């Protein structure tokens, strides 16, 4: 039976000589050009083979054979190139898997180009705050019985719903999460670990809770969560045995190594956008979320676009919202929305949350049991590392 998702190999030379110039002429060049003001030329190359330079112009991007004057050369295999062009791997997915090298320049130069590349290849707009129609109160929250939360989600890409789960229900979920945390061990393939400044190893994520707890797996049939899943396209199904299942997030104050804290990212940021999106991510908040405990932050209206990572000096000018929640509240976000989970600012316990994910049935069929795009994080060892740790070497 067909999965409904298929991605034909993309030939390096034919794409650059025929297909990409066609897409640029059709308007994709103009979509990318404004974002590339001041960016130096970038080249993609096959080992010992063809190469093409992407050269920004005021109103378009030109493609030239060779690497003359390219400030950065990203070298990839034929297979890695095809995955990148199909968006099955992003530049970050290439980095984590060790599938890109730089005879000239470096990874940061490729990452600088990533939104423009997606505009060139796929026609996806690059995020512009002024172009987004947003509600006046980005921090507004709702109850399930109130009107307006569907429209709010459609405009912002996220929504905060208060008091979805009762305290007694939450107690049972917390007990299961803590049981699984207690059973987790480094290298078990179903947990992520971080290191504190004193050298203590701490668990910061438990994946596939759905395979270890019937009670947590049953949340995929909860009528309230199913209702929230209808914020996505019709027919979404829960990720019980793939894509990390339902993952428990355990914020750890004082972590200095590992991926305990997530920088600005999209859930398809390692790759797989055409597989994972559209979908719905539902975060059941097990604790109060504040800056002190490591709350979520969203870039409102960024779903449907490509984005640059948010720099600290740019935050004041952007529609960023930090979500304060109480235990039993739920957050819902589009997986393509840019969001972050920065380190807790306090010394007390960090926030805990359980993420219940819904995707298309064809996504489940394509990915297959036990597989996830996050698996790339383990391709260079059994420990999840931050981007800075990967950049710095083995």
In order of start, what are the domains of the chain with their CATH numbers? 12-122 (3.30.1050.10), 131-391 (2.60.120.620)
Q: How far apart are CA 191 and CA 189, in angstroms?
A: 6
Judging by beta carbons within 10 Å of its beta carbon (0-12, 13-18, 19+), is residue 4 exposed, middle or buried?
exposed
Q: Are 77 and 99 in contact (CB under 8 A)?
A: yes
Q: Are 353 and 285 in contact (CB under 8 A)?
A: yes
Confidence of residue 261 (pLDDT cuts 50, 70, 90): confident
Strand, helix or coil for residue 204: strand
- For residue 394, pLDDT over 60 is answered with no
Q: Which spans in the chain are helix H?
A: 12-14, 20-23, 29-33, 78-85, 91-97, 107-122, 149-156, 167-183, 209-212, 214-217, 223-229, 273-276, 361-367, 387-391
Confidence of residue 2 (pLDDT cuts 50, 70, 90): very low
Q: What is the pLDDT of residues 276-319, one digit of tens each?
A: 999 999 999 999 999 999 999 999 999 999 999 898 899 999 99
DSSP character for 325?
B
Q: How far apart are CA 141 and CA 163, in angstroms?
A: 10
- The tokens describing 215, both together, are 């009670």
Residues 6+ apart with CB under 8 A from 6: none
Confidence of residue 1 (pLDDT cuts 50, 70, 90): very low
The rounded percent of the chain whose pLDDT value lies above 70 is 95
DSSP assignment of 288-315, as one string? -B-TTTT--EEETT-TTSB-PPPPGGGG
Strand, helix or coil for residue 267: coil
- pLDDT given at position 391: 62
Task: Please provide the average confidence, as pLDDT, over all residues in the chain.
Answer: 94
Q: Give the pairing of strands 158-161 and 141-142.
A: parallel
Strand, helix or coil for residue 108: helix
The rounded percent of the chain whose pLDDT value lies above 90 is 86
- The tokens describing 114, both together, are 């990533």
> Residue 294, by phi and psi: left (phi above 0), alpha (psi -120 to 50) or beta?
left
Q: Which of 178-182, 370-374, 383-387 has the highest mean pLDDT?
A: 178-182
pTM assigned to the model: 0.93
């Amino acid at each position: 039976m067909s999965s409904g998702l298929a991605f034909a190999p993309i030939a390096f030379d034919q794409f650059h000589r025929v297909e990409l110039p066609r897409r640029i002429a059709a308007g994709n060049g103009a979509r990318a050009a404004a974002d590339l003001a001041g960016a130096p030329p970038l080249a993609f190359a096959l080992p010992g083979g063809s190469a093409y330079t992407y050269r920004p112009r005021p109103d378009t991007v030109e493609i030239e054979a060779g690497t003359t004057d390219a400030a950065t050369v990203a070298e990839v295999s034929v297979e890695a190139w095809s995955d990148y062009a199909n968006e099955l791997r992003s530049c970050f997915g290439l980095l984590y898997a060790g599938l890109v090298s730089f005879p000239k320049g470096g990874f940061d130069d490729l990452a600088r180009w990533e939104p423009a590349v997606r505009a060139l290849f796929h026609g996806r707009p690059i995020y512009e705050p002024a172009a987004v129609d947003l509600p006046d109160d980005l921090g507004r929250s709702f109850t399930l019985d109130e009107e307006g939360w569907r429209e709010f989600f459609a405009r912002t890409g996220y929504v905060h719903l208060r008091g979805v789960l009762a305290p007694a229900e939450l107690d049972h979920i917390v007990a299961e999460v803590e049981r699984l945390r207690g059973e987790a061990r480094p290298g078990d393939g179903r947990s992520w670990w971080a290191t504190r400044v004193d050298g203590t190893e701490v668990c910061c994520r438990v994946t596939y809770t759905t395979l270890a707890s019937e009670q947590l797996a049953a949340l995929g049939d909860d009528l309230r969560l199913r209702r929230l899943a209808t914020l996505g396209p019709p027919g979404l199904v829960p990720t019980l045995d793939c894509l990390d299942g339902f993952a428990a997030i355990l914020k750890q104050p004082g972590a200095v190594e590992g991926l305990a804290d997530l920088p600005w990212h999209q859930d398809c940021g390692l790759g797989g956008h055409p597989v994972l999106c559209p979908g719905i991510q539902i975060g059941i908040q097990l604790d109060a979320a504040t800056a002190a405990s490591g709350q979520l932050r969203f870039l409102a209206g960024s779903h449907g676009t490509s984005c640059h990572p948010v720099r600290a000096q740019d935050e004041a000018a952007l529609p960023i919202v930090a979500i304060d929640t109480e235990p039993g509240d739920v957050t819902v976000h589009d997986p393509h929305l840019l969001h972050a989970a920065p380190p807790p600012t306090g010394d007390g316990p960090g926030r805990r949350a359980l993420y219940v994910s819904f995707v298309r049935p064809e996504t489940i069929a394509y990915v297959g049991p036990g597989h996830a795009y996050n698996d790339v994080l383990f391709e260079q060892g059994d420990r999840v590392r931050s981007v800075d740790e990967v950049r710095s070497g083995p």
